[in-house]
């Protein structure tokens, strides 16, 4: 199985040279393989979101290397990494343009990583495709293609964010607690959709979650961070037999 992402000796230090200096990530070494669906857990402040931010380029490591399919991304900007990496955030308001319609947002997503001008082009050519894509989703988005995104519910907006992240298959999909702000039923629907799409499209995905049952149910691999270090990394049969009690023992200081 080929390696998609290789994190080599990643360390992230904040407030360098002050009394508040702190290592958030401590010499992280991690290889992620083609088709891995990783559920990522950890205590508050363990470094989960920092790890995703290091990968997507919104922050840079203090030391170490980030290799994606043999490309060195370490010093590449977040904008340039967007050609390869897609992310859905916890806040439904992030990742979409509220003053554009659902269809316009989807058209932008099809052009991820490409240079484009100020004007949207070819929207009409894509409407039938967008209707088909959204008809498979919960929340009735297929009936709201001409609705401004700012007028959608949180669940509809987050479902749209997920579709935007996956409509053009990314080399790596990052999900930062993307269902945490939703009500239980909408959260369940989006998790089931996530699982279906990741499997069907053979996506490589890292999903942060605080829900132990979701970490056990979804994905083929579970990683736990504690105090900036990987304290558990299981897949295969070890992942299948993982219990909530097994996970909780790694949440101690």
82-93 mean pLDDT: 91
Q: Is the pLDDT of residue 161 over 70?
A: yes
Q: Are 23 and 50 in contact (CB under 8 A)?
A: no
244: left (phi over 0), alpha (psi -120 to 50) or beta: alpha
Residue carrying the six token digits 């052009």: 111
CATH for 35-58+78-248, among 3.40.50.300, 3.40.50.620, 3.30.2310.20, 3.20.20.140? 3.40.50.300
**Phi, psi (deg, nearest 5) at residue 8:** -115, 110
Poorest-pLDDT segment among 8-22, 110-124, 157-171? 110-124
Sign, CA torsion 173/42/158/81: negative
Q: Are 102 and 108 in contact (CB under 8 A)?
A: no
pLDDT tens for 182-229 read 888 888 989 999 999 999 999 999 999 999 999 999 999 999 999 999
The candidate with the shortest Cα–Cα distance to 172, out of 82, 112, 90, 245, is 82
> What are the residue ranges spanned by the domains of the chain?
35-58+78-248
Order across the sheet with 37-42: list the strands: 85-88, 172-176, 205-208, 37-42, 221-226, 229-235
CA atoms within 13 A of residue 186's CA, in its CB half-sphere: 17
pTM of the predicted model as reported, rounded to 2 decimal places: 0.92
User: What does the alpha-carbon distance between residue 94 and residue 204 come to, in Å, rounded to a whole number?
Assistant: 22
pLDDT tens for 225-245 read 999 999 999 999 999 999 999
Q: How far is CA 142 from the centre of its chain?
A: 24
Q: Which two tokens stand for residue 101?
A: 């319609």
């Amino acid at each position: 199985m080929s390696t998609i992402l290789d994190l080599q000796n990643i360390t992230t230090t904040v407030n360098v040279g002050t009394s508040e200096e702190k290592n958030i990530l401590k010499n992280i070494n991690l290889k992620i393989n083609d088709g891995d669906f990783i559920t990522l857990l950890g205590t508050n402040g363990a470094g989960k979101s920092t790890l995703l931010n290091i990968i997507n380029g919104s922050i840079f490591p203090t030391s170490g290397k980030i290799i994606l399919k043999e490309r060195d991304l370490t010093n590449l900007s977040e904008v340039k990494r967007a050609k390869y990496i897609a992310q859905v955030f916890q806040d439904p308001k992030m990742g979409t343009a509220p003053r554009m319609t659902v269809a316009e947002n989807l058209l932008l997503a099809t052009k991820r990583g490409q240079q484009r001008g100020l004007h949207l082009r070819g929207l009409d050519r894509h409407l039938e495709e967008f209707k088909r894509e959204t008809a498979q989703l919960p929340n009735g988005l297929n009936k709201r293609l001409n609705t401004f995104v700012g007028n959608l519910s949180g669940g509809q907006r987050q479902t749209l964010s997920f579709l935007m992240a996956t409509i053009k298959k990314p080399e790596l999909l990052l999900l930062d607690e993307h269902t945490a702000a939703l009500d239980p039923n909408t959260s369940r629907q989006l998790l089931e959709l996530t699982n279906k799409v990741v499997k069907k499209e053979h996506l490589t995905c890292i999903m942060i979650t605080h829900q132990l049952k979701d970490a056990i149910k979804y994905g083929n691999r579970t990683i736990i961070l504690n105090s900036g270090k990987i304290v558990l990394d299981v897949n295969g049969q070890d992942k299948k037999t993982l219990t909530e009690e097994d996970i909780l023992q790694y949440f101690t200081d």
